[in-house]
Structures are given as C-alpha cells and as structure tokens.
A and B are shown apart, each in its own frame.
Chain A
C-alpha cells in the first residue's frame, strides 16, 4: 500500500501530464496486448472457458481498437477549447482546459477481466492520471497475468495492479482518490460510493440490470435468421450470458413467440451443435457460487415448468444448457433479478407496444435492444423509455462504437466512458477566463446607486443600447 502513496508523488511531480508520457504508456499497453495475445487468451480460457476468438473479439481486439483511437485523437482531446464570451465582458478571453484528476482507482470485474480493467485504464492514461487497477479475484488467472504484465510494460511509478479480495478492496477504499471507477453489481456499487463520500471523491458506477430485447414480428425469414444470430451471439456468445450488456429477457408479441423460439433453437444448433456441452465456443459459468445461484433460479417449479428449450444441469461440470423459458411468472426471481447466465426468459405481450410500459415499470436497464423492421416502433421506444443505451436490430455491438458513450442510468449506474467520453470522465474540464487591466467600468463597484443597478441589469440582458447610453452618462430608468 506504500506503493499507492508513491503514485501521488509521481502525479505531483507532473510526469503524467505530458502528451509524450501519455502516448508512450498507451503505446506500451498496445504492445502488452499484441505481444501477449496468446497468454491473455489462455488466462481467459482458464478463468471462464472463453474461446480464443470470443476472447479476441470482446477483449484484446476491442482494446487494441480503443488504444489506437485514443492515440490518434489524443492531441485533439488535450487541446484547450476556446469558449465564447459575451461582448459585455470585453476585453476577455475564455478557454476550457482539460487537466488530469490525479490518482484514480479502477475496480474491474471478473467477466471481462482484461476489457473492464484496461478500457477504463486507457481513459485514465490518456487523461494523464496515475492509476491503481484492482482486477477481480474471481478470475484469478487473468488477475495474476495483469499483475505480471503491467509492471513489465507500463510506468511502475504511475500505474500499479493491486490484487486481492474483500479486505484489499476495503483498504483501498479507505484511501483518498481523485476518482473511483467501478464495474460490478449495485450492492458493491453502494459500498464504493458510500466510501467515496467520506473523501468527496467522484465515482463512476458501471452496473448492470435486466437488459431487455424487444422483438417485433419479423415477417421475413432472412430478417429472423439475422436477428436470431445477433441475439444468440449477444446472450450465449457473450461470456455465456455473464455480461452486463447481454440480453437478459425477450419481450415479444404472443402470436410471434413460437416462431421466434423455433428460430432461436435453430441458431443455437448452428452455433453450438446438437450438444452445446461439447462446443468449445461457449464460455463456462465462472464458479460454484454463480452456478448454484443460476440453478436456484430454475428450482422454482413455476419456472422449471416454463422451460421450452434446454434446462439441463450438470453439477460435476458446473454446466447449464442454453435455456429458453416461455412466460415464467413475473414475480419469480428469474424475472426480478439480473440473470447473468445462460437462461433466456421470453415474455409474451398482447401487443408489442405494451413493451414500453413493461420496461418503464422496472428499473432502468443498462441496454435496451429492439429488433424490428418498423423504424416507427424503434423511434417510439427510443423516445418513451429510458436506458443506458438503445441498439436497434443488433445487441452488444454498441460497446464497440467509440463515438457512443457507454454507461448506465438509474439502477444501471452513472458516468460514461469509451473514446472521448473516457478522456472526459478522467479529466477535469477547467475553465479559464483572462482579462486585461484596460477598460474599467466603475458601475461594477460600490458605493451603489440606482444608475449602477440599471447598468448591471442592462449587462445581464445584453442590452447594448442601454449600455452605451449608460457609458455616455445617460442612466435611463430601469424597466427591464
């Protein structure tokens, strides 16, 4: 923990402020990823059974893309932005200067142990901060690989990895930070924010929630195939549903439900074969605790009766089949808690427009997905619901778009990152106003009188005519 104190000294010395240092670190991080791709994918295989391609697509590849984007745009992000000043303040110039916040703490999560550690770190480094990364102990191979690689590639005086469990987290949280960036669940999110409040530290909370997918009736077979591939990929293909952006449940017109289930089943078969247990393209459930949690969701007989596909469990291998459920009761745990696993409930509605009320009567989700060929329905959902993001006709890919902010609202968190938004989140935008000693207006100063009041009123109303009159010595009576 003394190391953490040293970071503060590094920041005070100003090392991390220069564009050169920031670019150097980002370039090294890029090297870390490209030179250790195999080892990283191995760790992900070990922790989560993630296929090499999935690991590349969702972690290494995305990070490489983000770092390149940051390197390309850093000069522009760092440049002060001129701000407009009203004529009444003449002669004055104003600018917004981004500056690093200081020493930041990044709490990462086990499901994307590299992505969710390093994507925030890219922002922290681009903005010129020193940082402590605390990977999740639930993915131990990834955590120890990060702890091994980061000191080899990055500036040890500015970036360190602290490994550990609850005790270490508590120790870290007792300290004063300039920003805490947390990815995880709301329960821990509350603890993090409460600890941050003691030091008035700003926090970013990247939480999850039940992200719904609204599926409109798709009349074209081809559209159904594409939509279904995208949904299956966003559920079982994203760490086997253990992703904050994964589809949690489906809302669908009751008349279209059976067609949709048939389509999903056929996609599952194409992707994972007749026995998905044999497939190497599906991640496993992270640990026993989560396996038992998911199994207990199915234990409720009202829920198990609603299974229309899969449902098989294997205690020895902590394996749960890709499972589709049709209309499990809305008060069952599977519909009140975030699932974070390979179970997909499908909830039928009389009319697909009822999905809006359904979504609005629950906590705001991190992501909302709409599959439809009617843009009017998509527009209506965008306007009438609230969520971290809305993606139309695809799922989880919004995470890859640098120009879009990623983050939640309400129960799904607050604060946003990715691309320029990461830079902004890890920066303080400092306004600077510069004036000269010329052009003194004495009406700003006491002793106060009626004419000075009129002057001030005209200034704030930008009433230039009255200002000129005033400066010429005609203090007209105040009417505005």
Chain B
C-alpha cells in the first residue's frame, strides 16, 4: 500500500536512498529488514575498517551537506587508535534556504540513517553517535527517537548490535534555531551546550571535535547513502554518477516550477531536464530567468548558463556550487533586487557575530539593499554592494561570510541592468 508523499515521485528518478519512500511502514524496522536492511552492516562487520573506508572512497561519495568533500577521505582522517574515544555526529541542522531533503530521509527511512551511522562506527571504531536535528523539526526528532527506541528494543543498537557483539549508542540532540549551527564546528559548540559559533581550524573535528574527542561529522544524506555503497559495492554506486562525483543525490526543486518537490537523481543529471521534465517546467508558461543551483549561498546562474550537467565539478567550473541540493528556479518576472535583499536579510539575521567582516558586512549590505529596494538607491551603491561583498570573501572563520557574499556578487554582476533600471522606476513587488 502506498503512502501519501509530500510530492509525487517522477519516473525520471534513480531511487537509491529514497527507494523506501512511499512504502507503507517505511519508518519501521520490519519494513527496513524486509527490504535489504542491515545486509550492509553485516557485510561491513566482516570487513576491516580500512576496507570499509576504501569502499567508500571507491564510491566517490561526496558530502551532501554543502561542501562536497570526499566522504571516504574524511573518514580516513579520524585516528582510530587515538587514546580518546571517537564520536560520530550527524548534521541534521538542514537550514540552507532551498533545502528540505534530510527531513524526508529521517521521516521515511530512519533505519537507513541508523545503519549508515553504524557502518561509520565500524570504520572509525566509534561507539557513540549524536544526531543533531534543527529545533524546528521537533516532529522529526520524535520520529527519530521512536526509530531509535525500536532499534534498541530489537537489538540493532546497544551492547550487541544485530548479534555481532558490536556496541553502539545513538541519541538525538535538538538545535534551537540557528543557521550557523549547520557549520560543523559551530554545531559541535552547540552540541556542547554553547552558543553556536565556529571554531578555529586546525585542529579539525576529525582530531578534536565534540568534547575534544576525535569526531566524524557528516550530513544526514551522506550517512544515508552508506548502506547502499557497502551492500552493492562502491564501484556500482560510483557508476551511477560521473567521475569523482559518485552516486545519486536528493534534489530539492522549489520556486517557479509546475511540480516543485524532492527528487533523487544521479550526479551529472542535466539541469534543464530536471527543470523541464522532472519539475514540469517553469509555471505559467513563462521563461526561465535564473537558477540558484544548491541553496541560497550558491552564486546564481542565468538561464543561458543552465544547460549543464549537475555534478560538483561541472557546476564549480561555471562558477557556482551544487551545495546542499536546494535548487531554486526563478521565472522572467522575478525582481532580482528584491531577491538579493531577501537573501541578505537572511544572512544578516543569521550571522553569529563572531567575525567582524561578516557581522558588519551582512548588516550594511542589508541596509543598502533595503534602501535600494525602497527606491532610495544611488547609482554608486551598485558598485559598493559588490565591493563590500568581495571584501568579506575568505576573511571569516566559517563560510557564512562567503555564503552571503557569493550570491550577492553574482546577482549584482549578472543582473546589473535591473539594478540600474531600479533607479528610475517605481518599486515593484516580487
């Protein structure tokens, strides 16, 4: 029996991590076990930690949270013989505007996430993990807690995981409303009960993370991809995508399309095919103006740049990022000044205030863009907005400063004519 989903699936999807979405009872251990659940863990238990990490490297899985760092390499940085115990932390803070995928992985397939974490535990010899979930997702924390309870009750967590003698404890931890806590070191401070501000690196979390213990930290989707990699082999997973960009990922399509939704596609899937065939094209028969390819922090792409394959390296080549998979589609009528302002209002609100270029830069950019939007802009402001943004790049502890600057620079440069037109016309609403 099928379950009602947030959006209809598309026949063009390649379902690996979303294969259980829509199955009745997909969140239960029984359905999980009936659908190849824990085959990967049992296989991994017979492998050496080195072999597990090698398999993940072979898969060319890259972090699904935003940075796209090779996952196997990240796992290899965790010192297994360190005198302090290793900790696994799962980033479920999902706050990048445009991104709504980890929600579904927790809601529909929590046991896949648990199995991925357990395999990571075998790989880095960790015996405890924390799933950090943003505070707004309270209903998901409750769902995850129920899945954890079931796993403990049935012996898939605790002192003897699946009868293999492996010990692992796993808990949820709630956030409390802070975009900054999606940054891995800020998340660790938040997990320690502090304000979520980024840490100086090095040391990297792999060596000194949560409570100064060696910590493996990955996104929910990254961990959720691991069972399929171990079960079917890293090479098979890699083959789904493009070289160095293995597998599939969840694409969150939003904005001006006929069928917005979360869809699983292989890396390298053509962007225009995703917009036109999966998401049903731009709504109202309008023309495409621009696309934010991977969440609000990614430089915007003009329509003519969008005829491109979606993998990390190809999108990087044209000056943007795949980010967290949040693809926002803008039609020809979108007011780009208003759009840039809304992005900057967000970053000014979410800047943690730790680094001055970000704290002051985002606030002044917000003020300038607001003035511009209100019809009091000056011609020289266009250049000043670009310059202030460029001065923030690379001058902060974490990537939030860059995240605010990059889309702004791209919007001002690519849609300068719209800023100029704004000087001589009445304010228009988005």
Q: Do A and B come from one complex?
A: no
